[in-house]
Structure 1
């Protein structure tokens, strides 16, 4: 073995390196333990600890026994408060929401069940349930082995949002709030607060028959998707008489068809805050877009939704409304409704119906520019969301119909005027 190899072998077995690794591991474990210890100390306890140290040092230095006694009193208080941390918090926690999807303004109710599955009683404790940016606090009394406690709670749903409920935290602490031990239980649950939508009667959005469309459940006397045969009725088109069936049955039979509808329905929803005067206009725009998208899905359209910088999933009504619940305003640099129209034209050139939704800060020139960028041949509709004082109106800008509404309930009647 060479001298260099001997040096490497002796270095690998150097006890100093082994002791160094052992010390580093011990420091890490000690840091983890100290972290858990410091986590239970509240700011008020740190203040009392500092006051105790100052009183003790001043009492010893100045010879004032009053200060020393005050320091001892503070120490006793801290020690007594630490005793409240003793005890188990091993609850079996179950968080159940009555519904995970509600509409703005609907009541959302949940239940929190705490069960003691152990063999010993659990002392009183507090349970903290975060709900969005707030939290609910429940005081749980002593729970004997095998017992359970249920707490009901209601979640405010005044605004469209995705509210995270949980995770549940079991808190053991003292009455003065000096020390607090927290154990997290269960997993958070998302509550989707959907925007308000309005239903349209019949084929409110209109449709285009197309060889590549999707068959719907509505029957028609004239289309391209054959459905069945039925007996002739006065007024039926003789071109659709099925002569072979007529000869076999002895009754004149005509073909019946399913309506097929072009599936590419596109909604361009502007999320640029510069296009809206206030948050109410933005919420109205989201509700209008949601109403239009749901109607199009019911009419068997293929729905695609674009906002600044991304597309929203809209395969089903639930998926679409969930995406709207989580939608927030874009950054101003993301572009206005004009840039949004350009994105729609570039990514969806075969769209048959395009609806642009924006606020009242978008003027007629910007709307004209946005509509001119949309795919050629597509039917274009612009919906402008205004304030409650805005009177509903219908105007024509270029090749597009522009509907202005001040309330969601005005949307169906405004669309009927467009399609009249």
Structure 2
């Protein structure tokens, strides 16, 4: 890769040399002619110096490919002289996201290696492309330079800040016994009643004591239980957040809940609002095509592991056209079957009516918890019917509130 050859100084040098030659020949000034030829000759030597391939070997790697906001990342660059002769100094440039970080490497003796450590500030969550390393070779006069790339692009994930939450082993829907539903079954853990035996019933469920009393075969009937399935729906509509800090807090809350669920080996689904695709068109009655408005969209966050989930949450952002809270709740509840607890995480702008309307889109029996993220707000918990509304002003608040009143299974 050679993005630049002649520097601004080089262009000025070449223009000045040619101008000196022209004026010298026109006016007959031998001094200007000599000066012009000297400038052109030095420019040619500088070009040859810069274009000769350098013998340096360069490699780099990330000390940690995943860091948390505020921790800082470190890039290790190793420049080696594989020859037996001394090599000239050079400049090393490393692109990190939209910025560049430069370091200078002095002259290297034969077989000598130099290791550089670059500290990268991670003040914001995101996914950053790092590399490839660019080596700049430039002549001593700075007239001509050449950039050569080494290595390939690697990815640095800056994860959101999370906080350790209480275990989800108790709460609204217990995982072992489960919250009994109104669906009856012939085998489960939650006993419901006795009924008369009918052909096809499992004989192991016959209650012999009742059978002896009534003179008829009686079998046990159970209420069907369900395993806890946690759903986290992260609102990404700009109109639901007053400031960007609210969304960052919401991402931290979603990440903390997800990490806790995975640690407790719960069934977990995480969805977020996304920008809808391009509008399509349909043909009506064989005539011209009519445009269709793009449908609201959600994106599923991978939950196969803690690292994968946080990797994807590192890259989420407010998205224009993303579904608002009510639409997000409808889409999320429809995509995840057998949900027992649903968390809706949003900003401070949706009012109580909107929050309630979003909660009722979930099927009956699903515990709905809406987390309102509003930096510096007074933390609190209130009940609106079967809906739990939690207000957090800091990430620590969600830990304190859930520790006081566990709402998860």
Residue 418 of structure 1 deviates from its aligned partner by 4.0
Alpha-carbon distance change, 121 to 190 in structure 1, aligned in 2, over 3 angstroms: same
Residue 21 of structure 1: aligned partner: none
Listed one character per residue, the Cα deviations across residues 293-332 of structure 1 (whole Å, up to 9, x for unaligned) are 111112221111111131111121111111111222212x
Residue 235 of structure 1: aligned partner: none
Among candidates 334, 347, 367, match of residue 346 of structure 1: 334
Residue 382 of structure 1 deviates from its aligned partner by 0.6
Residue 319 of structure 1: aligned partner: 308
Trace 1:199-238 onto structure 2 (pairs within 5 A). Answer: 199-203=164-168, 206=171, 208-209=173-174, 224=189
Residue 274 of structure 1 deviates from its aligned partner by 1.9
Trace 1:94-109 onto structure 2 (pairs within 5 A). Answer: 94-109=59-74
Aligned length: 340
Residue 149 of structure 1: aligned partner: 114
Q: Secondary structure at the match of 1:334?
A: coil
Among candidates 71, 92, 95, match of residue 57 of structure 2: 92
For residues 264 and 398 of structure 2, what CA distance do their matches in structure 1 show? 17
For residues 186 and 373 of structure 1, what CA distance do their matches in structure 2 show? 51
Q: Secondary structure at the match of 1:105?
A: coil
For residues 188 and 205 of structure 1, what CA distance do their matches in structure 2 show? 45
For residues 144 and 41 of structure 1, what CA distance do their matches in structure 2 show? 29
Q: Secondary structure at the match of 1:126?
A: strand
* Mapped contact 2:169–2:175 kept (Cα < 8 A): no
Whose RCO is larger (CA < 8 A, sep 6+)?
2
Residue 161 of structure 1 deviates from its aligned partner by 1.5
Q: CA RMSD in A?
A: 2.9
For residues 119 and 363 of structure 2, what CA distance do their matches in structure 1 show? 47
For residues 362 and 269 of structure 1, what CA distance do their matches in structure 2 show? 14
For residues 364 and 27 of structure 2, what CA distance do their matches in structure 1 show? 91
For residues 129 and 95 of structure 1, what CA distance do their matches in structure 2 show? 9
Q: Does 1:415 align with 2:380?
A: no
Listed one character per residue, the Cα deviations across residues 368-390 of structure 1 (whole Å, up to 9, x for unaligned) are 221122233211001111122x1
For residues 109 and 224 of structure 1, what CA distance do their matches in structure 2 show? 53
Among candidates 87, 99, 110, match of residue 134 of structure 1: 99
For residues 237 and 364 of structure 2, what CA distance do their matches in structure 1 show? 25
Listed one character per residue, the Cα deviations across residues 89-138 of structure 1 (whole Å, up to 9, x for unaligned) are 23332323222212111142232111222344432211111222222222
Alpha-carbon distance change, 261 to 182 in structure 1, aligned in 2, over 3 angstroms: farther
For residues 373 and 77 of structure 1, what CA distance do their matches in structure 2 show? 77
* Mapped contact 1:303–1:315 kept (Cα < 8 A): no
For residues 291 and 148 of structure 1, what CA distance do their matches in structure 2 show? 43
* Mapped contact 2:65–2:157 kept (Cα < 8 A): yes
Bigger drift between 314-323 and 139-148 goes to 139-148
For residues 35 and 386 of structure 2, what CA distance do their matches in structure 1 show? 85
Structure 1 or 2: larger helix share? 1
Residue 177 of structure 1 deviates from its aligned partner by 3.8
Alpha-carbon distance change, 146 to 367 in structure 1, aligned in 2, over 3 angstroms: same
Residue segments in structure 1 that go unaligned for 5+ positions in a row: 1-34, 214-222, 226-259
Listed one character per residue, the Cα deviations across residues 373-410 of structure 1 (whole Å, up to 9, x for unaligned) are 2233211001111122x111222334311111110011
Trace 1:184-263 onto structure 2 (pairs within 5 A). Answer: 184-203=149-168, 206=171, 208-209=173-174, 224=189, 262-263=227-228
Residue 359 of structure 2: aligned partner: 371
Residue segments in structure 2 that go unaligned for 5+ positions in a row: 179-187, 191-224, 275-298
Residue 60 of structure 1 deviates from its aligned partner by 4.5
